[in-house]
Structures are given as C-alpha cells and as structure tokens.
C-alpha cells in the first residue's frame, strides 16, 4: 500500500485555500456593488418608495371656471359634492374591494374593473366611484373604515348645469380624458382620469376653464389610513368665462321649438360684431348626465340612452348639420349677379314661365310671375326667374361668389366639429358622381334655388347673408366674450376683425330692400305679422328632402322650412339683430320657421326697450306701404316716418 506524498497534500490545501479566498473576495465585491446600487445609484428611487409607505400625496381637483351669459346669469357652475373614492395603492384584496363596492354601493362592476385596469392612470390618483353619495352610502363607508380603508369619502367639485337642457349644445359637457386623446401631443399635459371638456364651450375653452389642481401630503399608517396632514396646496379655480349668449333670448328660442315639438336649429346674433345671442339645436340633452361622472348603474343607463338615441341629441345642427337651403339662397344669387353686372337696378327683368324645360324634364316654379324684376322675384320667391338667372351667370361664377360669401368652408366659429358643407362645384360632382361626372345646365338650375349640390349649415347661411346686410363686413360668429383673471392667468377678451368683401351700395340696397319686401309687402312671410316698427326683413326657404319619398306621406319626408331675418332693415342704421331658423320637415318656411323668428325678434327688442320678454307682447300689425325712390330702388318708411335713403 503506497503512502500519499506530503507535498501533494500540502499543494491541495493551498489550492483550496486560494480558491476560498477569491470566493470570499468575489462575494464582498458583489455585496459592495449591491450596496452601491441600493444606497447610491437608486437612492432617490428607494427613498421615494419608502416615503410612499409613510407619506401619501393626494391630488385635489381644481373647480372648473363658471360659465355665464353676457349679463352674468349662471350657465354652468362647480359646486362641492360628497363623493366616494378608492385608492388603488391601499387595496390589499382587489376582488374583495370590488365586491364590497358593487354589492353595497351599487357600483357598476364592468366600469370599475375598467378603471382599475387603466395602466395609464397614476396609482396614487383616487378613482371616483360614486358622486353625490347618499347618507346611507356615507354611513356604510364610515362603518367599514377599518376593513376597507381604501374606500373613502371626499368633497370634490362637481359640474352643475342649473338650466338643464338649455343651451346644452353651446355649453357642451365634460368627461374623463380618453386614452386616444392622451396619445395626441395636444394633450401632453393631461393624465388619465383628468376631467376635460367634451363638447361646446367646455371643450373649446377647456384650458381656460380647467384651473390647476392642488395637493395634500399626509402621513398614513400601514393600512393607508390618514394619521396627520403635513402640507396642503389649495387648487386654483379655472377662469370664469362670460359668453355672448343672452339667457332670456335663448329661453324664448328654445320654447318656440319645444311648444311645437319640432326639430331643427336656430341662431340669433348681432351681424355688426358676430356675437351669438342664442343658439338652439333640437333634439337636445341634459349635460348633467355627463357631469355626474359616476359609475353607478342608474347613471350608466341614462348615459347609454343618450348615446344610443337614434335622433342623435348630441349633434349640434346649427353648426354641424348641413341642409339644402331652398330659396334663402336667392339673396346670395342676387348679390353675385348684381356685382357681376348680369342684372342691374334698371335692367333686371327675366321671364318666370311657370318654370323651365331642361331636356325632357320640366322644373316648375311655385307660381307664374310673368317677367318680374329682381325685387319682385325676391319678394314672391320666383324660382323661374332664378333658373334663368343662374344659366346667364354660369356655374363657375356662382361657385366663385359662394366661396367669397364664406359658404362651403369652415367659418371659424368657436365650437367643435363645424361642418364646411357643400356648394356647387364641377370637380366635386366628378368626384362623387363618377357615373355622371359632367356638370350640366340641369345641375346649375337646381343650384340656383339652393337644391341639388347645395348643403350648408344654418350658421353658415346666416354668416353669408350677414355680411351682405351690413355692407360687406364679415364678422366671425363667436360665443366667447371675456375670461376673468385668476392668480394663474390674466383677463382675456375676445379679439376679432371683420373680413371685408367689397360690395356696391346699390347691390346692398336692392338685396336688403327685397328682404324687407318679403315681410312687409305681402311676400312669402307677409302673413306672419311682424310688428311694423321693427322693420324686419327676411327670406323664406322650402328645401326639398326626398322627392320620390314625399308622395308616401309622413312628416319625415316633408320639406325643410327656412327663414332668415334681419332688423332693422332700410333705416339709417345697419341691422343689429339677425336670426336664422330651420325647422326640419316643417314644410313652408313662412309657416313653420318665420313665426319662431318673430318671437325671437320680439324677445330681443322687448328687452332692448326695457319691457318683459313675453310672447304676448308681439302684436300683429299691417305692413307699411312701399314708396318709390328716384334711383329706381324702392325704400320703406322708417317706423312711420318719411322714407330715407340708405347710406352705410
């Protein structure tokens, strides 16, 4: 049996010792690196985590600025509401928290789960689960504070629209910022869960209205229950916004639709500066349903009812709806023809013929007016006259002037989703009608009376004719008047300048006098009975909906009824009040829309004279007789006085 060499044993021991030393050294190096990472490289991160175990920062939502009408009457308010919220960081059992909220507080499970699964929402941000909590709800939360410290009661601002549906499309509504919006760089300074404007003024002026949120720093225990407040930074309320609306006129305008159950739109404004005094769209909605912003099943059902309503109550027909304009278009056609010299004050007669033959089709007029001059053609709304006038003008001339008037394009009103509409255009027809791309005289004839290729919004029609009536000055329609100063922002005022369109005084006189005659010389709105002293002028329009379907009956296939109006006309002043009314499927404009406009005019001028804004103040009076003017343009007497020549 061989003996082990002592030198070999000694060598093995030294090798093992050497390896052990290096292993120990390596271990210390690893520990050192780890200590460096924990105590130096990631010191701030771990310190913040440790602080979060003890200190909680809770955002305090800022109240949105109030919205008022032009006289300071409240349209939208932010008031404290007693809400129930949950803090995701304090949840120890998510399923148990969800069950407790659903079974005891009536919270919608699906909506709550969606909120909890929102990865973009900051974990420290509380989730609102019930707004305006009842006494019973508050009692339950208080009684279960120990078992469910993540469920708490807080006072937060709630948006209130005290007038319910009144001016809903103008004001808009609010809601949580969507994930799609957060992907847009425009919303870079917003975070998931923020409340923003979703429509109307609330959306357009959201950054003015939203304010700056505050913050509370609390010491909390291991269960997340507050122990002591370390710091509180008060939120700064958003700027209060004063609009151009007149709440009294708005109420009258909406009442005119509601008392008949009609749908459609109306706008009242000052054509001298673009201030909108009233805007109606029917059907409407209650923005308080959105402002409630709760997850309870009752509210979700009410919200779903609005969103699924086939009548689309969220749609603002005044600026988004596009319709054939019918004969209201004739005021624009007249202005273009006079400016181009196609007709003149002394040479404006064209045949009516009861209509016109186009190939094997006869397009009729509503009457047979002989060979009227332009004034009679406007007053009697002679289609035959305008068929022939349009053919003399040609479609290119018509298109170019309609662009100058601002139709077929967005006009820049401070409301979202404005529609540009459609106007006669050869290229447009070729694009949308490839089977029959060539523009024909038949298309021109239809376009002459606001049919066929014509479809614009009520707001756009009023804007286009406003500029003519005030002498070629086009003021952008707007609702913003002023934003009050806050510690964050200075006072802001509306700033706007008119777009100038050079028009001859003769053209302005002829067109405005024709509009005056429609109301005051037994024209198509002569039977409405506008008070004589108001000197209202206007133009009716009856726009065909579906020609083939009309024979089947049913209100949904009746013509749309238009009326645009101005006051005073043919005085030494420019008109200060303009109204457009569209009654969907209302039939004739003089019957369905002009009476609504009459009451809106009465409300404005009654208020101006310091009288109550009541419908019964409007008395029917006989229209004044027209008088001839030496230059061939007839002038109407002003409020019973001698005739005057208009020089603006």
pLDDT at 75: 98
Average pLDDT, the chain: 86
CA 104 to chain centroid, in Å, comes to 39
Residue with more model confidence, 124 or 319: 319
Question: Rounded to 5, what percent of the chain is helix, strand, coil?
Answer: 40, 20, 45
pLDDT band at 206 (very low <50, low <70, confident <90, very high): very high
Residue 391 has pLDDT above 80, yes or no: yes
Number of C-alpha atoms within 13 angstroms, CB side, residue 126? Answer: 24
Mean pLDDT, rounded, for 563-578: 91
Residue 641 has pLDDT above 70, yes or no: no
pLDDT at 625: 34
pLDDT band at 621 (very low <50, low <70, confident <90, very high): very low
Segment among 63-67, 306-310, 322-326, 448-452 with least mean pLDDT: 306-310
Quickly list DSSP for 252-276. Answer: HHHHHHHTTT--EEEEEE-TTT-BE
Q: Percent of the chain having pLDDT more than 90? A: 59
**Domain parsing of the chain, residue ranges:** 55-243, 326-617
Segment among 86-95, 253-262, 557-566 with least mean pLDDT: 86-95
Residue 634 has pLDDT above 50, yes or no: no
- Residue 471 makes CB contacts below 8 A (sequence gap 6+) with 503, 505, 508, 574, 648
pLDDT at 6: 58
Helix runs in 344-470, H state only: 374-379, 383-393, 395-404, 426-432, 441-448, 458-469
Tokens of 447: 């376009």
Residue 592 has pLDDT above 80, yes or no: yes
Count Cβ neighbours within 10 Å for each residue of 61-93 and write b for 16 or more, e otherwise: bbbbbbbbbbeeeebbbbeebbbbbbbbbbbee
pLDDT at 499: 96
Question: Could you check whether the bond before residue 283 is cis, i.e. omega within 30 degrees of 0?
Answer: yes
pLDDT at 256: 96
Count Cβ neighbours within 10 Å for each residue of 298-323 and write b for 16 or more, e otherwise: ebeebbeebeeeeeebbbbbbbbbbb
Distances (CA, A) of 95 to 99, 124, 319: 6, 19, 47
Mean pLDDT, rounded, for 370-389: 97
Give dist(CA 388, CA 408) in Å, integer: 23
**What is the per-residue pLDDT across 280-305, written as a single tens digit (0 to 9) for each?**
999 999 999 998 865 655 567 788 88
Contact call for residues 324 and 460 (beta carbons, < 8 A): no
Residue 5 has pLDDT above 90, yes or no: no
Mean pLDDT, rounded, for 539-567: 75
pLDDT at 2: 52
Mean pLDDT, rounded, for 568-594: 93
**What is the per-residue pLDDT across 228-244, written as a single tens digit (0 to 9) for each?**
888 889 999 999 999 99
Residue 645 has pLDDT above 70, yes or no: no
Mean pLDDT, rounded, for 19-39: 79
pLDDT at 17: 74
pLDDT at 128: 85
Radius of gyration of the chain measured on its C-alpha atoms: 35
pLDDT at 430: 92
pLDDT band at 222 (very low <50, low <70, confident <90, very high): low
Residue 223 has pLDDT above 90, yes or no: no
Segment among 33-47, 153-167, 247-261, 331-345 with least mean pLDDT: 33-47
Residue 552 has pLDDT above 90, yes or no: no
Residue 119 has pLDDT above 80, yes or no: no
Residue 620 has pLDDT above 60, yes or no: no
pLDDT band at 614 (very low <50, low <70, confident <90, very high): low
> For the domain bounded by 55-243, which CATH number is listed?
3.90.1310.10
- Residue 608 makes CB contacts below 8 A (sequence gap 6+) with none
pLDDT band at 594 (very low <50, low <70, confident <90, very high): very high
Residue 629 has pLDDT above 80, yes or no: no
pLDDT at 551: 38
pLDDT at 617: 42
Residue 179 has pLDDT above 90, yes or no: no
Contact call for residues 276 and 268 (beta carbons, < 8 A): yes
Mean pLDDT, rounded, for 378-388: 97
Distances (CA, A) of 324 to 281, 362, 404, 428: 17, 20, 19, 16
- Residue 183 makes CB contacts below 8 A (sequence gap 6+) with none
Residue 627 has pLDDT above 70, yes or no: no
- The pTM of the full predicted model, rounded to 2 decimals, is 0.83
pLDDT at 133: 85
Q: Which of 33-42, 352-361, 459-468 shows the highest mean pLDDT?
A: 459-468
Segment among 53-62, 494-503, 610-619 with least mean pLDDT: 610-619
pLDDT at 626: 36
pLDDT at 575: 96
> Which fold is adopted by the domain 326-617?
Beta-lactamase (3.40.710)
pLDDT at 328: 98
pLDDT at 117: 86
**Of 542, 558, 560, the residue nearest 550 (C-alpha):** 558
pLDDT at 647: 26
pLDDT at 139: 92
pLDDT band at 640 (very low <50, low <70, confident <90, very high): very low
pLDDT band at 410 (very low <50, low <70, confident <90, very high): very high
CA 596 to chain centroid, in Å, comes to 22
Residue 549 has pLDDT above 50, yes or no: no
């Amino acid at each position: 049996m061989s003996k082990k060499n002592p030198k070999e044993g000694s060598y093995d021991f030294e090798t093992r010792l050497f390896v052990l030393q290096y292993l120990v050294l390596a271990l210390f190096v690893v520990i050192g690196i780890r200590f460096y990472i924990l105590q130096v490289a990631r010191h701030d991160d771990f310190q913040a985590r440790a602080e979060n175990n003890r200190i909680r920062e809770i955002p305090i939502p800022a109240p949105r600025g109030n919205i008022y009408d032009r006289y300071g009457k409240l349209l939208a308010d932010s008031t404290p509401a007693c809400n129930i919220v949950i803090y995701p960081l304090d949840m120890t059992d998510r399923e148990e928290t969800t069950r407790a909220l659903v079974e005891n507080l009536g919270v919608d499970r699906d909506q709550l789960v969606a909120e909890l699964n929102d990865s973009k929402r900051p974990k420290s941000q509380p989730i609102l689960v019930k707004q305006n909590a009842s006494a019973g709800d508050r009692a339950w939360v208080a009684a279960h504070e120990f078992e469910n410290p993540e469920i708490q009661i807080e006072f937060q601002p709630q948006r209130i629209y005290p007038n319910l549906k009144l001016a809903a499309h103008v004001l808009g509504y609010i809601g949580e910022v969507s994930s799609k919006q957060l992907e847009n760089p425009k919303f870079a300074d917003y975070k998931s869960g923020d409340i923003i404007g979703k429509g109307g003024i609330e959306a357009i002026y959201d950054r003015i209205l939203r304010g700056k949120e505050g913050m509370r720093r609390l010491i909390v225990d291991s269960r997340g229950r507050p122990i002591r407040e370390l710091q509180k930074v008060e939120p700064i309320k958003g700027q209060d916004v004063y609009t151009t609306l007149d709440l009294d006129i708005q109420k009258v305008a909406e009442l005119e639709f509601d008392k008949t159950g009609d749908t459609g739109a109306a706008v009242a404004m000052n054509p001298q500066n673009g201030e909108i005094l009233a805007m109606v769209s029917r059907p409407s909605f209650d923005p308080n349903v959105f402002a409630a912003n709760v997850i309870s099943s009752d509210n979700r059902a009410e919200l779903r009812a609005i969103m699924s309503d086939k009548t689309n109550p969220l749609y603002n027909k005044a600026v988004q709806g596009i319709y054939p304009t019918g004969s209201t278009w004739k005021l624009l056609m007249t202005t273009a023809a006079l400016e181009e010299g196609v007709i003149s004050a002394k040479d404006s007669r064209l045949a009516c013929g009861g209509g016109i033959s186009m190939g094997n089709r006869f397009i009729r007029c509503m009457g047979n007016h002989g060979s009227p001059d332009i004034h009679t053609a406007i007053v009697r709304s002679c289609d035959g006259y305008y068929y022939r006038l349009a053919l003399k003008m040609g479609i290119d001339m018509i298109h170019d002037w309609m662009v100058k008037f601002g139709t077929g394009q967005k006009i820049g009103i401070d409301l979202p989703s404005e529609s540009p509409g459609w106007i006669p255009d050869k290229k447009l027809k070729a694009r949308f009608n490839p089977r029959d791309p060539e523009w024909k005289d038949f298309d021109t004839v239809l376009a002459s009376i606001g049919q066929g290729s014509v479809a614009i919004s009520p707001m756009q029609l009023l804007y286009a004719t406003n500029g003519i009536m005030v002498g070629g000055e086009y003021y952008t329609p707007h609702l913003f008047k002023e934003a009050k100063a806050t510690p964050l922002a200075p006072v802001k005022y509306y700033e706007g300048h008119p777009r100038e369109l050079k028009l001859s005084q003769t053209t302005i006189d002829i067109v405005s006098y024709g509009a005056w005659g429609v109301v005051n010389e037994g024209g198509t709105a002569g039977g409405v009975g506008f008070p004589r002293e108001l000197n209202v002028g206007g133009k009716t329009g009856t726009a065909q909906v579906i020609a083939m379907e009309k024979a089947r009956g049913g209100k949904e296939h009746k013509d749309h009824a238009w009326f645009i109006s101005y006051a005073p006309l043919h005085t030494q002043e420019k008109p200060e009040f303009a109204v457009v009314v569209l009654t969907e499927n209302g039939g004739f404009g003089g019957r369905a829309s002009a009476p609504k406009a009459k009451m809106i005019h009465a409300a404005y001028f009654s208020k101006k004279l310091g009288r109550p804004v009541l419908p019964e103040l409007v008395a029917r009076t006989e229209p004044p007789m027209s008088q001839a003017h030496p230059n061939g343009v007839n002038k109407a007497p002003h409020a019973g006085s001698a005739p005057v020549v208009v020089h603006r």
